[in-house]
Amino acid sequence: MVLIDRPEAANYSLPEITNRVILGNALEVLKKIPAEAVDTVFLDPPYFLQLPKKELRRWTVNTVVEGVDDDWDKFGSFEEYDEFICRILTEVKRVMKPQATIWVIATYHSIFRIGKIMQDMGYWILNDVIWAKTNPMPNWLGVRFTNATETLIWAVKDRRAKKYTFNKELAREFGIGKVAANIWVLPICNGSERLKDGNGKKLHSTQKPIELLRRIILTSTREGDVVLDPMAGVGTTGYVAQALNRNFIMIEINPKYIEGIMRRFQQPLQLTLPSA
């Protein structure tokens, strides 16, 4: 894995950034990428959780839930959040090929805002896909339903885009029942897959599971395609793309996460390609 750290760069050529991770702010880096360059986008933005200041304590073991308290999830208001989302989606749209598709993931905290903004920008939603978690954290005060799902929006740039990639047979394997249903049941990322920092704590608050990206890439890309992840975190997208013979471009602003990516790629992921 090669890191690109040239903040002074004017523009990037596609070859020089393919299968690379670029250190920098997605909004600025994206502007330097050629138009209509990528086949698929996976976007995992901050969810703007607005967690209460009050700590949530497990009374039986007297420990505190370490919720998402990262600076990258802090916004002053919905308006501020909306503007951020809108700017990212504008830059992303420019670098998408005409037939490219985009995946965006979030929870109820923000997925509705994102979806409406996408529609208003002209993106055409193909599906919502529900990630049903087998092991969510329960709501133990019993004041709400346990939030066991995240929602993915799968869309094209424009209503007129038709010949996008969809591997129906693989989609049938992943969904529930015999139809290619829009529900994926899989566990959250934990155990040895979860990257840790020097103190054994999780390196990233919200690392996405390999299996989730495997399903996204297999259903919506072909071998040799270029997958873009503008907010790569610890790089699950590129890690899985490489294992499935896809190309990738990742952008990440946090050196701590970049370090995790570099460490991860030293042991390439092994995945069997479907015979089809």
Q: How many residues does the chain have?
A: 276
Taking CB under 7 A as the criterion, which residues in 93-112 touch DNA?
106-110
Q: What would the two tokens of residue 45 be?
A: 């933005």
* Side-by-side strand order, sheet with 149-156: 2-4, 20-23, 247-252, 226-229, 38-43, 96-106, 149-156, 124-132, 183-185
Rounded distance, CA 237 to CA 252, Å? Answer: 12
Q: Is residue 206 within the footprint of DNA (CB under 7 A)?
A: yes
Within 10 A of 95 (CB to CB), how many other CB atoms are there? 22
Rounded to a whole number, what is the largest CA-CA distance in the chain?
56
Residue 76 binding target from its own copies, DNA, none, CB below 5 to 8 Å by type: none
Rounding to the nearest 10 degrees, give the CA dihedral for residues 221, 168, 239, 87.
60
Q: Work out whether 78 is an interface residue with its own copies (CB under 8 A).
A: yes
Task: Supply φ then ψ for residue 94, to 5 degrees.
Answer: -65, -35
- Considering CB distances under 5 to 8 angstroms, the limit depending on partner class, which of DNA, its own copies, none binds residue 181? its own copies
By CB under 7 A, the count of residues binding DNA is 65
Contacts of 112 (CB under 8 A, 6+ apart): none
Under the binding rule (CB under 7 A), the answer on residue 177 touching DNA is: yes
In this structure, the number of other CB atoms found within 10 A of the CB of residue 140 comes to 12
With binding defined as CB under 8 A, does residue 49 bind its own copies?
no
Residue 130 in the binding site for its own copies (CB under 8 A): yes
Q: Is 120 left (phi over 0), alpha (psi -120 to 50) or beta?
A: alpha
Query: Which residue do the tokens 């299996």 mark?
Result: 211
Hey, what are 116's tokens? 């409406």
165 contributes a contact to DNA by CB under 7 A: no
* 44 touches DNA (CB under 7 A): yes
Does 254 contact DNA by CB under 7 A? no
Closer by beta carbon to DNA, 140 or else 222? 140
* Subset of 210-269 contacting its own copies (CB under 8 A): none
Q: What sign results for the dihedral spanned by CA atoms 252, 254, 256, 259?
A: positive
Decide if residue 13 touches its own copies (CB under 8 A): no
> Which partner from the list its own copies, DNA, none does 116 bind, CB cut-off 5 to 8 Å by kind?
its own copies
Using rule CB under 8 A, residue 56 touches its own copies: no
**Residue among 32, 62, 35, 64 at smallest CA distance from 51:** 64
Interface map 137-176 toward its own copies (x if CB under 8 A): -xx--xxxxxxxx-x-xx----x------x-x--x---xx
> If contact means CB under 5 to 8 A according to the sort of partner, which of its own copies, DNA, none does residue 66 touch?
DNA
Per rule CB under 7 A, is residue 130 in the interface with DNA? no
What is the binding site for DNA (CB under 7 A)?
44-61, 63, 65-68, 73, 106-110, 119, 124-127, 134-144, 147, 150, 160, 162-163, 172, 177-179, 187-192, 201-202, 205-207
Query: Which residues of the shown chain bind its own copies in the complex (CB under 8 A)?
Result: 73, 75, 78, 107-109, 111-120, 125-130, 132, 134, 136, 138-139, 142-149, 151, 153-154, 159, 166, 168, 171, 175-177, 179-183
